[in-house]
Amino acid sequence: MSLNNKQVSTAEKIQKQDLRILLKLSPFIKPYKKIATIALMALILTSLSFLLFGQGIKLFIDEGIYTLQHHQLIIIAVVLITLVIGTFFRFYFVSWIGERVSNDVRLAVFNHLLTLHPHYFEMNRSGEINARLTTDTTLLQSIFGFSISMALSSALLFLGGLVMMLITNIKLALIVLVAVPIILLPMAIYGRRLRALSRKSQDTVADIGTYAGEIVQNIKVVQSFTREPEESRAFKNEVEKAFSVAKRRIMQSSLLIAAAMILVFTGLGAMIWFGAQDVTNGDISAGELASFVFYAIMVARSVAVISEIYGQLQRAAGATERLLELLSEESQIQPPSQAKDLPDGTLSLNFNNVSFSYPSRPDEKALEEISFKVDKGETIAIVGLSGSGKTTIFELIQRFYDPSNGSIEVGEVNIISLNPVKLRANIGVVPQQPTLFSADVCHNISYGNPLASIQQIKAAAKEAFALDFIEKLPEGFDSYLGEQGVRLSGGQRQRIAIARAILKDPSILLLDEATSALDANSEQKVQEALKRLMQGRTTLIIAHRLATIMHADRILLIDNGRLVAEGTHQKLLSESELYKRLCELQFNH
């Protein structure tokens, strides 16, 4: 199920689960339970100190500051110092836990994303996933680093304040106790609406990021078709949608806080009215009334803080649900419980009656009953019209998908019996449109072998005939390439990808016409580099040029997902009309 399809059902689940879903994050807090204990002790200590401060107010008013005894002044000073020191430790350790937990959640989600099958990313938008990694985890940071601390502190002060009010004056305390349920009622009424709106608000913000990311990534297309005004209006609509939902969420939060404040001040006013009459009648002292008002304000403030944080916790529940969705997503490609090992050296490849349909198009066969074998060290060219299934073969070899029927063997071992990581470690890929990262040249080439030395990286670049243009870049191998390698030409990007494959030194090479973006001079040089690279390796090449086909030991002709012919170039020319037509239309120009 895609992220978009889950939004409605997820909002319903949040309403049922309430804030209990936050408890599912407890495993991320468990490793730091010692620090959490220190923070909790500091929180309790500061709350007790604050409660004792009310008794100091009573002493100041009833006895006067100049008549207080020496030991009483020392106690008051100790309480104040304890309050300051406790607040420091509480703030530091609670903030530390917030930062640590949010980063651990972010890391766990990212690590889990790395294990998911490619189809998941085809069905879900990258902007939505990025929003969960950034916006949602940042929200958790503020919740764990501030909101929960304030909620616990307010809860302790609320309970402690009620106890101290009962000790000070039962009659006035009963007035407050009657008011408390009335104050809590709006929280229950508006809380449910706020949960659904919070989730929807987060989803609309994710939509904004997704839309903007797509436009920025394809800015040349936008400007080429002069679509700037239309894209600006479309983005404005997305922003306005998010603002509309945010307004509704803010309105609910504002009503929640306003209702709580009205009820709090109404109850507080009634309490002061009756308390003043008791002072006039001599039933309580002015100091007792002052301390009672202090505790009442403390209780009122605690309720107000809790009502405000309650809304924030609703947003945290939505963020938690979204993150847990990612963490609970299972990859369709799982390593076996007891994985087999690949034999050493060059590996053979065998397709046994393989059929496959993409998950997004289950009724359409991408490959149908394909069987072929590639011996160790053999070079095979795969040709066919666009959409015939050539790239699908490469994706199945890397086990990005599993075949619907049949089996694929590498080194005489079924790839389903292999750990996907170890399988892919033996495969080197050079795609027709290479993917480069926005880091420097050195990082992009060493992606094939992170342990390679700079000398090995330069040697690989030289073999790929990339060394000359790399050294002419402003900072050589340290030059930043920009997003998707935008600062390089198509041919330069392809040579970087070839250098990466050379450095990986794989047993099986998959080349998606690795020279198609090169000029004639560069193509000849890279062909020589690839010829040396292919020696002693099993190689499959998706061929678009006659020069590539001529170097192959055998040619596989694919049409509509089926293997319709195989053999040498001359054999297929004489036996296959489709191959002959491909040569005339595609390979000879």
Provide DSSP, 530-589. HHHHHTTSEEEEE--SHHHHHT-SEEEEEETTEEEEEE-HHHHHHH-HHHHHHIIIIIT-
Q: How far is CA 364 from CA 357, 368, 389, 560, in A?
A: 6, 10, 12, 10
pLDDT at 12 over 50: no
- Write out the two tokens for 103: 């980063």
Residue 65: the pLDDT is 59
- pLDDT value at 124 more than 80: no
Sign of CA dihedral 457, 459, 465, 467: positive
Query: CA separation (Å) from 56 to 47, 80, 81, 128, 161?
Result: 15, 10, 14, 54, 14
**Which candidate, 432, 389, 393, 394, places its Cα nearest to that of 544?**
432
* pLDDT at residue number 67: 63
Q: What is the DSSP string of 217-258?
A: HTHHHHHHTT-HHHHHHHHHHHHHHHHHHHHHHHHHHHHHHH
- 124: nearest Cα among 451, 393, 321, 360: 360
**Residue type for position 284:** I
- Residue 5 pLDDT greater than 50, yes or no: no
246-256 as b/e: b if 16+ CB within 10 A: bebbeebbeeb
Q: Can you tell me the mean pLDDT for 226-236?
A: 81
If you count DSSP H runs as helices and E runs as strands, how many of each does the chain have, helices first? Answer: 22, 10
Q: What is 3-328's CATH topology? A: ABC transporter transmembrane region fold (1.20.1560)
Residue by residue, DSSP assigns 527-544 as HHHHHHHHTTSEEEEE--
Question: Looking at residue 547, what is its pLDDT?
Answer: 67
Which of 26-30, 266-270, 450-454, 563-567 is least confident? 266-270
Question: Mind listing the pLDDT tens digit for each residue in 469-482?
Answer: 888 888 888 888 87
**Helix/strand/coil for 588:** coil
Q: For residues 454-463, b (16+ Cβ closer than 10 Å) or e, as one string? A: eebbbbbbeb
Q: Using CA atoms of 118, 122, 128, 129 in order, give the dihedral in degrees to the nearest 10.
A: 0
Quick check: 420 and 335 in contact, CB under 8 A? yes
If we measure between CA atoms, which residue out of 381, 392, 393, 388 comes closest to residue 559? 388
Higher pLDDT, 472 or 222: 472
Q: What is the DSSP string of 416-429?
A: GGB-HHHHHHTEEE
Joined together, the tokens standing for residue 31 give: 């490793």
pLDDT at 279: 79
Taking 50 as the threshold, does the pLDDT of residue 11 lie above it? Answer: no
Phi/psi for 245 (5° steps) reads -65, -40
Report in angstroms the alpha-carbon separations of 245 from 69, 153, 198, 205, 250.
60, 31, 9, 10, 9
CATH domain 349-587 topology: Rossmann fold (3.40.50)
Helices (H), 282-415: 286-328, 390-397
What is the DSSP code (8-state) at residue 30? G
- Residues 440-447 have a mean pLDDT of 88
Q: What is the pLDDT of residue 145?
A: 74
State the burial class of residue 233 (Cβ atoms within 10 Å of its Cβ: 0-12, 13-18, 19+): exposed
Q: Return the pLDDT at 2.
A: 47
The tokens for 165 are 């009010």
| Residues forming a β-bridge with 508 | 427, 538
Query: For position 217, what pLDDT does the model report?
Result: 67
pLDDT at 62: 65
79-105: b (≥16 Cβ within 10 Å) or e:
beebbeebbebbbebbbbbbebbbebb
Tokens 């998606």 identify what position?
A: 512
For strands 554-559 and 379-383, give the pairing. parallel
Rounded to a whole number, what is the distance in angstroms from the first to the last CA of the chain? Answer: 45
Q: For residues 310 and 184, what is the distance between their CA atoms, to the nearest angstrom?
A: 11
Question: Where in the chain are the domains?
Answer: 3-328, 349-587
Residues 428 and 425: their CA atoms lie apart, in Å, by 8
Q: In whole angstroms, give the CA distance from residue 556 to residue 398.
A: 19
C-alpha 98/C-alpha 174 separation (Å) is 38
Q: What pLDDT, on a 0 to 100 scale, did the predictor assign at position 515?
A: 66
Tell me the mean pLDDT in the region 325-343: 85
Question: Tell me: the pLDDT tens digits for 367-383?
Answer: 999 999 999 989 999 99
Same fold for the pair 3-328 and 349-587: no
Q: What pLDDT, on the 0 to 100 scale, is given for residue 374?
A: 92
* Residue-level length of the chain: 589
Give the DSSP H or E segment for 70: helix 70-115
Task: Pick the range with the lowest mean pLDDT from 379-383, 462-466, 562-566.
Answer: 462-466
Cβ proximity of 399 and 573 under 8 Å: no
Give the separation between CA 339 and CA 203, rounded to whole angstroms: 40
Per the model's pLDDT, the better-predicted residue between 342 and 551 turns out to be: 342
Q: Any idea which residue has 């959640």 for tokens?
A: 105
Asked whether residue 589 carries a pLDDT value surpassing 60, the answer given is no
pLDDT tens column, 388-407: 889 899 999 999 999 989 99
Q: How many CA atoms lie within 13 A of 76 on its CB side?
A: 15
Q: Is 405 helix (H, G, I), strand (E, B) or coil?
A: strand
Which tens digits make up the pLDDT trace of 82-122? 888 888 888 888 888 888 888 888 888 888 888 888 878 87
pLDDT band at 350 (very low <50, low <70, confident <90, very high): very high
Each residue of 296-325: pLDDT tens digit?
A: 888 878 877 887 787 777 777 778 888 888
pLDDT of res. 208: 76
Per-residue confidence band for 519, with pLDDT thresholds at 50, 70 and 90? low
Q: 17 pLDDT exceeds 60?
A: no
Measured distance CA(327)–CA(323) in Å, rounded = 6
Task: Report whether 76 contacts 119 (CB < 8 A).
Answer: no
**Token pair belonging to 270:** 């009634």
**Residue 180 in this model has a pLDDT that exceeds 70:** no
